[in-house]
Amino acid sequence: GQQLNQSPQSMFIQEGEDVSMNCTSSSIFNTWLWYKQDPGEGPVLLIALYKAGELTSNGRLTAQFGITRKDSFLNISASIPSDVGIYFCAGHQNTGNQFYFGTGTSLTVIP
């Protein structure tokens, strides 16, 4: 299946700092989603992107759909302890008609 590469794999940051993570692929995707997963729970949708170049915010979170349609990034501003978790990107292709998931970025926020 398609591979979505997320980076960084893990991050340790101080509370209050901004965070940036991205997701890249060698293939074109027509939808990008960002999820957050807490331990033992299912992923929760944070932001959905449907159009190349689209920039969408959800509170302190901002995500962008790359112009090339091969990447997306997620920014978190002024991090707080409850931002801790694993963040996944997911992309949808018409070929295969399924969502492919990134490998995840583990975020730790130090109070």
Partner 1 sequence: KAGVTQTPRYLIKTRGQQVTLSCSPISGHRSVSWYQQTPGQGLQFLFEYFSETQRNKGNFPGRFSGRQFSNSRSEMNVSTLELGDSALYLCASSLAGGLDTQYFGPGTRLTVL
Q: Under the rule (CB under 8 A), what is the footprint of partner 1?
A: 1, 30-31, 33, 35, 40-45, 48, 50, 88, 90, 92, 96-104
In 3D space, the residue among 30, 32, 34 whose CA is nearest the CA of residue 20 turns out to be 34
Nearer to partner 1, 77 or 93 (CB): 93
Please answer whether residues 63 and 79 qualify as being in contact, where contact means their C-beta atoms are separated by less than 8 angstroms: no
Q: How far is the CB of 41 from partner 1 (least distance, A)?
A: 5
Nearer to partner 1, 79 or 104 (CB): 104
Please answer whether residues 93 and 2 qualify as being in contact, where contact means their C-beta atoms are separated by less than 8 angstroms: yes
